[in-house]
Amino acid sequence: MNWEMKNILRSVLILVSVCWWGNKAEAQVTYELTIDSLVGIPDTIVDGQQVTFYMIVSMNSPLFYQGNIFVELEYDGGFYPVDTATAANASLSPNSPNTIQATHIFSTNDDLSIGDNVVVVWPRIGDGVTPQQEVTNPLTVYIHMVEPNGIIEQPTVEFWSLFLLPTLP
């Protein structure tokens, strides 16, 4: 092998390794999302009540994202997408927070229970998994759910008393 052939082979190997490493580095891109504020979720919710709330989401990583932006709620071990979510614009960038309006019906049909519930709010992009994403501060809210009539059903206890009446002579 002559000197020119060795230089060509070395250049090809360097080019292949740079391309391979570049693809690996690109695959490791992670979008970091932060919730700046969350308003509109009341402390007490009636079973079946539709609630509209707003959140401001920022991008912490030096990346630009354009595409699907939505909200998921986590409670009782499961993730539930909100019924509707509308972003002010379908993009996120480091210097431009985005307002998301979300509407959801909170119900015992979705594994919430009458009484106290812990709900974690997660902003999501893409399909929720792709592109790779991390929410640096998912917000936790505490919701007290009541029956539609506002009265929590209590078990009834009945007391029967037996009184003997004295007889008159």
58-68 tens-digit pLDDT: 998 888 898 88
Q: Which of 122, 95, 133, 142 is nearest to 35 (CA)?
A: 122
Q: Which is higher by pLDDT, 41 or 20?
A: 41
Q: How far apart are the first and last CA of the chain?
A: 135
For residue 90, give both structure tokens.
């379908």
Are 92 and 56 spatial neighbours (Cβ–Cβ below 8 Å)? Answer: no
For residue 81, give both structure tokens.
């997408």
Give the integer Cα–Cα distance in Å for 62 and 30: 10
When pLDDT is cut at 50, 70 and 90, the band that residue 77 belongs to is confident
Give the integer Cα–Cα distance in Å for 67 and 80: 20
| pTM across the whole model | 0.68
Write out the CATH class of domain 31-146. Answer: mainly beta
Ordered by start, the domain boundaries in the chain are 31-146
Highest mean pLDDT among 18-27, 45-54, 120-129, 158-167: 45-54
